[in-house]
Amino acid sequence: MGCLFFFRSKRNRREKQGRPRAGAGETLTAATTSFSSYDTSRSYGSTCGKQTSKSSASTSSQQSISAMFEVKGGNLRVFELGELRNATNGFSHMLKIGEGGFGSVYKGFIRAADGKGDRHTVAVKVLNLKGLQGYKEWVAEVHFLGVLEHPNLVKLIGYCSADGERGIQRLLVYEYMPNKSLEYHLFHKASSPLPWNLRLQIALGTAKGLAFLHEGLEVQVIYRDFKASNVLLDDDFQPRLSDFGLAREGPTGDRTHVSTAVVGTYGYAAPDYIETGHLTIKSDVWSFGVVLYELLTGRRSLDRNRPSNEQKLLDWVKQFPIESKRFNMVMDPRLSYQYSLKAAREMAKLANSCLSKQAKERPRMSQVVQILIHIVQINEATAAREAENKVRRADRAGG
């Protein structure tokens, strides 16, 4: 389910005319390249003829992340191209661990900036010069992750912008996530099924990450591309939100939304955003509701390989009302009935509230966090009762 670009030809002309050029060893600062100066859109859908103004947010709001980056951006490490080439064994195919709209991602090994100590593992993302994402998304990623710090956001270590054999090479260096993505564990047959308890913890962790973006900063951040493939998992399967190339600052003052060209991934974008181009934090809440159903069902939001009446996940689950006896038909068969049905029903109810047609009726992510904490408690109580009943049955059998 890739992102589709509606105004791609128009955008390509703009980039050829106005893309900033940088020399080897460029150090990125908000003063020289403010991401908010650009339309960082990846547009899709038949409604995109309504391409709107860059933003209804104020100019001061547009500069706030940039201003924060002026203070915090110096913590990022500026890498030389040769250093990252050595770290990845010449960007070896054997070390390639992923590929997306931005380009290829490689596993790498680097030392501290002073060259001392043991090497540690990183992920190196290389911008594809012919890819669908470009300089603007790269700058946005650096600015946002140069400022944002949270246990449920991936950590950006540094970046590189240098002259290469094929032109300006732009790269990003992240902490390495050994357990791949949520998408991999939910949908790839080669993966082991995610246990129910772990699915709840992943839902809670990602909700905390989004709540931090929406409500935990002096500036509101709209993630705009929440989906299973952008949820990475660390050593302990704790979730980290990644890929901030499409993130935008939220509205300020009396503004209710940010107006943008419509971007995102089919199956995850809120219908009100697709129809109007009005972007709010509630757009992220809709996407979160979709992923909740993916966690419940083990099905993709859109799967063309399934029968026609099962391809759209949100339509398919409507056949199995939450309080009906048929509800367990939606549950991922790979769970082998090892889950709390009560907790699963509550999670589906939460998903439905996130998927409310009217954006204002969707909960805030801080509310979602509290509901998920309650669902985890329900699940733990159910597990405790089942364990107690198991002991009693064993005692009776022994007696």
Backbone angles phi, psi at 103, to 5 degrees: 155, -150
- Whole-angstrom Cα distance, residue 44 to residue 27? 33
Give the amino acid at 33: T
The rounded distance, in Å, linking the Cα atoms of 161 and 171 is 7
225 is catalytic: yes
* Cβ atoms of 277 and 262 closer than 8 Å: yes
User: What letter represents residue 73's amino acid?
Assistant: G
Buried b (16+ CB within 10 A) or exposed e, 90-107: ebeeebeebebbbbbbbb
Per the CB < 8 A criterion, the answer to whether 230 and 236 are in contact is no
Query: With contact defined as beta carbons under 8 Å apart, do 288 and 365 qualify?
Result: yes
d(C-alpha 208, C-alpha 35), whole Å:
25
Task: Check 39, 225, 236, 284 and give the catalytic one.
Answer: 225
125 annotated to a ligand binding site: yes
What does the alpha-carbon distance between residue 194 and residue 200 come to, in Å, rounded to a whole number? 10
**Residue 364 has which token pair?**
């805030």
The C-alpha atoms of residue 5 and residue 152 are separated, in whole angstroms, by: 29
- Other beta carbons within 10 angstroms of residue 115's beta carbon come to 7
Active site residues: 225
Known binding-site residues for ATP equal: 125
